[in-house]
Amino acid sequence: MQFPDVLVLGATGRIGRILQAGWSGGTPPESILWHGRTPARSDEKNWVHGDLLTQDEALLARLPNCRTILCLSGVIPGREPPGSTLSDNTGLALSALRIGARTGARVLLASSASVYGNQPGPLPETATASPVSAYGRAKLDMESDARKLADTQGVQCCLLRIGNIAGIDSVLAGWHPGFALDRFPDGRTPRRSYIGPRDLARVLYELIRQPDLPEVLNIAATTPIELGALLDAAGHVWHPRIPSADAIPEVWLDTTRLDRLLSCPPARNPADIVRQWREMTPDVNGARITT
């Protein structure tokens, strides 16, 4: 079973590395074109590079028509390239849509669960977005402008609101001796919608193969995971702390739409998610995947 022709923008980032690892088994390389901002994987024929914000026209000249564009390009707080800002998330998404309009491709744009802010779950895609962080507001601005351009250009667009990804999150990946977690008066630690890296690769594979997608999709396991349980499953010692007044106890994405499209839902057991993280850690961290 082959992939449809797909262009993955921003493939040298952390999610891109997950996909390179998760899609590597038996996937014809000529069916996927990977993109990075700067030259990478020069030993491979199925790579193209260029800055989406300044070189999208030059990039277009080197791109074949494709069926689907998966745009992973974005700016994350604390990982910004020199000279970039969170507002660049909008510019990158709009460049992807312009490429889609010129190549005839539909576009899947990576967004974030942070657009929902601090609201009780489960949160369906129709819930009012109310971000509380600068990153969440930047992603919501991106979504709004992307929808407008997609409508203007006649490009089919699906916004992927992705939950926490095990291994590139602030808990499993950010753990260190002395790590502390908020513990609320009910005794719980924060609960978040998660997805394991192997499940993420499989989910995106299946979505790319779907002929029709909704305008917005939550991407996560069916039920949220308590962060304390996640660290316990990993064997990582943590210490409780009193949460601040603005601490968010729960972000729970309703995945009813997603689950209808999948062959099976993502793992929701902390032990299974930790297992996926450990299996793919060398790939995600670059020991096997050159960036």
- For residue 4 the two structure tokens come to 């449809």
- For residue 89 the two structure tokens come to 């998330």
Residue 43, pLDDT above cutoff 70: no
CA distance 188 to 254: 20
Taking the whole predicted model, whether its pTM rises above 0.85 is answered as yes
Tens of pLDDT, residues 266-291: 999 999 999 999 988 655 554 333 22
* Residue count of the chain: 291
With beta carbons less than 8 A apart as the criterion, state whether 194 and 132 touch.
no
Tens of pLDDT, residues 91-106: 999 999 999 999 889 9
DSSP 12-36: TSHHHHHHHHHT-TT--GGGEEEEE
**Residues 149, 135, 49, 108: is their CA dihedral positive or negative?**
negative
- Residue 116 DSSP code: G
Q: Which of 192, 203, 175, 209 lies closest to 248 in space, CA to CA?
A: 192
Tens of pLDDT, residues 59-70: 777 787 789 999
Beta bridge partners of 48: 35
Residue type, 88: D
Tens of pLDDT, residues 178-209: 999 999 999 999 999 999 999 999 999 999 99
Q: Which of 139, 285, 161, 273 lies closest to 216 in space, CA to CA?
A: 161
Q: Compute how many other C-beta atoms are within 10 angstroms of the C-beta atom of residue 23.
A: 20
